[in-house]
Amino acid sequence: MGKKVLIIDDDPGMLDMIGFALKNAGFEVYTYHTGVGAWDKILKVIPDVLVLDVMLPGVDGYTLGLQISKDPLTEKLPIVVVTAMEGVKSKFLQLPQVVGFLSKPFDIIEMTSIVRSAAGGK
């Protein structure tokens, strides 16, 4: 199996599209659809890379990113942020784990490349 990627996004179409592309690129893909319970999902999967939406029901992506950065188990987890909200980029880039930021709609090939790089691949 390939490296594990967890995608957290509340849009089922986005989950399917990103998941399909990353599975085709050889990743082991896990998905989750809300901010509520996302922390538990992260701890259960322990992904090599997290693809994270900003606007999530319950707990937003930034709050989740802060939690990730404060826990020794996840503090080095690379995060690729995907969002339709370009204005939040500077806020997210303050988190040391954020290795990529993609504004929706984004190029799926670019996204795959960023995730591959974050996972330590070529």
For 60, list phi and psi in degrees, rounded to 5: -75, 165
Q: 73, 17 in Cβ contact below 8 A?
A: no
pLDDT value of residue 1:
65
CA-to-CA distance for 65 and 43, rounded, in angstroms? 13
Q: 42, 1 in Cβ contact below 8 A?
A: no
CATH 3.40.50.1370 applies to domain 4-118: no
pLDDT value of residue 67:
94
Copy the structure tokens of residue 116.
Answer: 């591959």
Question: For the chain, which residues make up each domain, given as ranges?
Answer: 4-118
> Over its length of 122 residues, how does the chain's per-residue pLDDT go in tens digits?
689 999 999 999 999 999 999 999 999 999 999 999 999 999 999 999 999 999 999 999 999 999 999 999 999 999 999 988 877 878 888 889 999 999 888 999 999 999 999 999 65
Q: Which of 81, 88, 113 is nearest to 14 (CA)?
A: 81
Is pTM beyond 0.75? Reply is yes
